[in-house]
Amino acid sequence: MTAPFLFADELDVKGKRVLLRLDLNVPVQDGKVSEDTRIRRILPGLKDMLAAGAAVIILTHFGRPKGKVMPEFSVQPIADCMAKLIGKRVTIESDVIGAGGKTAAAGLKSGQILMMENLRFFPGEEANDADFAAALAALGDIYVGDAFSCTHRAHASVEALPKMMKAAAGRALGAELTALESALANPKRPVAALVGGAKVSTKLDVLNNLVTKVDGLILGGGMANTFLLAKGFSIGASLAEPDMVDIASAIIKRAEESNCKLILPDDALVAGEFKAGAAHRIASIDTIEDGDMILDAGPKSIASAIAFLATCSTVVWNGPMGAFEIPPFDTATNAIAKAVGIRSAGGSMMSVAGGGDTLAALANAGVSDQFSYISTAGGAFLEWLEGKTLPGVEALRIN
Ligand code: 3PG
Ligand code: MG
Ligand 1: lining residues by beta carbon, under 6 Å? 23, 25, 64, 149-150, 153, 378-379
On whether the CB atoms of residues 41 and 172 are closer than 8 A, the answer is yes
What amino acid occupies position 11? Answer: L
The pLDDT, as a whole number, for residue 317 is 96
Q: What is the pTM of this model?
A: 0.90
The pLDDT, as a whole number, for residue 334 is 98
The pLDDT, as a whole number, for residue 36 is 92
Q: At 313, is the pLDDT very low, low, confident or very high (cuts 50, 70, 90)?
A: very high
Q: At 133, is the pLDDT very low, low, confident or very high (cuts 50, 70, 90)?
A: very high
| Antiparallel, parallel or unpaired: β 32-33 and 28-29 | antiparallel
Q: How many CA atoms lie within 13 A of 134 on its CB side?
A: 3
Ligand 2 centre from 392 Cα, in Å? 14
* pLDDT of 2 higher than 90: no
The pLDDT, as a whole number, for residue 128 is 98
Q: Which of 159, 157, 135 is nearest to 62 (CA)?
A: 157
Ligand 2 centre from 23 Cα, in Å? 11
The one catalytic residue in 17, 38, 171, 203 is 38
* pLDDT of 13 higher than 70: yes
Q: Which helix (H) or strand (E) holds 280?
A: strand 280-284
Q: Which of 22, 125, 153 to mutate to test the pocket of ligand 1 (most atoms within 8 A of CB)?
A: 153
Ligand 2 centre from 378 Cα, in Å? 6
Looking from the CA of residue 153, the nearest atom of ligand 1 is 11
One DSSP character per residue, 320-360 reads: -SS-TTSTTTTHHHHHHHHHHHHHHHTTS-EEEE-SHHHHH
Cα torsion 165, 64, 202, 276 to 10°: value is 130
Residue nearest to atom 7 of ligand 1 (CA): 150
* pLDDT of 288 higher than 90: yes
Q: At 99, is the pLDDT very low, low, confident or very high (cuts 50, 70, 90)?
A: very high
* pLDDT of 151 higher than 60: yes
Q: Which of 200, 216, 294, 215 is nearest to 250 (CA)?
A: 200
Q: Which of 23, 24, 158, 384 to mutate to test the pocket of ligand 1 (most atoms within 8 A of CB)?
A: 23
The pLDDT, as a whole number, for residue 1 is 52
The pLDDT, as a whole number, for residue 357 is 87
* pLDDT of 17 higher than 80: yes
Active site residue 392: no
Active site residue 199: yes
Report the mean per-residue pLDDT for the chain.
Answer: 96
Q: Which of 61, 66, 70, 125 to mutate to test the pocket of ligand 1 (most atoms within 8 A of CB)?
A: 61
N- to C-terminal Cα distance for the chain?
12
Looking from the CA of residue 380, the nearest atom of ligand 1 is 3
Ligand 2 centre from 379 Cα, in Å? 5
Question: How large a percentage of the chain has pLDDT more than 70?
Answer: 100
* pLDDT of 32 higher than 90: yes
| Antiparallel, parallel or unpaired: β 167-169 and 191-195 | unpaired
**pLDDT, tens only, 183-201:** 888 899 999 999 999 888 9
What amino acid occupies position 295? Answer: L
